[in-house]
Amino acid sequence: MTDDRSRVAFITGGARGIGRTFADALVADGHRVVLADASVPDAEIAAAELGADRALAAYCDVADEDSVRAAVDATVDRFGGIDILINNAGRHLMSWSRPVTDVTTEAWRDILDVNVLGIVNCARACRPHLRAAGDGAILSVSSVSGFTSTDVYGVTKLAVRGLTVALAKAFADDGIRVNCLAPGPMDTAAALADLPDELLTEFIENKQLIRRQGRTADLVGAMRFFCSPESSFVTGETLIVGGGFPLRV
């Protein structure tokens, strides 16, 4: 980031995968992070590795408003405020890559509660603190599936893009910018364990223009841009980081 002021980032799903990669990068830049995660042991391990003066582990079930508020309060008590909200937590395994009528209503509510309403819950709870920061930024993680898929997971990630636009408009008068990243398949442990090898290979070789496995590190530059003053004139946007898939005109 270009400014030298230490900022505070509240990262949902921050203990592992993309969230942990973002936390590592922000701490390396001199900022402080909150690993807001449903797995407290994983969050505590990550926080210890990052350093107690720079990282806080906080239990956070994004689908539960009370849990979100408690994690936000713990953040403010520890670090004094919140400058950045990164909505990274989400349901994303192959069990959700199914036709929309093949999933029970109960299962639909589960994934919507996390992938969609979880963003609303976190944005609502963080809003006053982001407003007080004066240059608050929200970054949500969607997926290339939100552009091309007609399955359950893709529909929820399409909704994340819609929320990005809606929140950008709703929070504009507060001086809070809201943007979104749409990654392709990344090299997180969970994704690599879940995605069939043949499906991943087909995606890389026949859909991507850059024919290699996406890495969480590939997202860091875009994250830094959207969370810093360098993007002070950008809001309501979704950036695809998918190796050239899908192409848009």
β 137-141/177-183 pair status = parallel
- Which tokens is 204 given? 């890389």
3-state secondary structure of 211: coil
Give the burial class of 20: count Cβ atoms within 10 A of its Cβ; 0-12 exposed, 13-18 middle, 19 or more buried: buried
Instruction: Report the C-alpha gap between 61 and 41 in whole angstroms.
Output: 14
Residues 143 and 191: beta-carbon distance below 8 Å? no
- Residue-wise DSSP of 121-157: HHHHHHHHHHHHHSS-EEEEE--THHHH--BHHHHHH
Residue 153 a catalytic site member = yes
CB 242 within 8 A of CB 184: yes
Residue among 22, 79, 147, 153 flagged as catalytic: 153
CA–CA distance, 139 with 11 (Å, rounded to integer): 10
Structure tokens at 171: 């929070």
Sheet of 32-37: strands edge to edge?
55-59, 32-37, 8-12, 84-87, 137-141, 177-183, 238-241
Peptide bond before 99: cis, by omega within 30 degrees of 0?
no
Residue 85 host element (H or E): strand 84-87
Q: Would you name the residues annotated as active-site residues?
A: 153
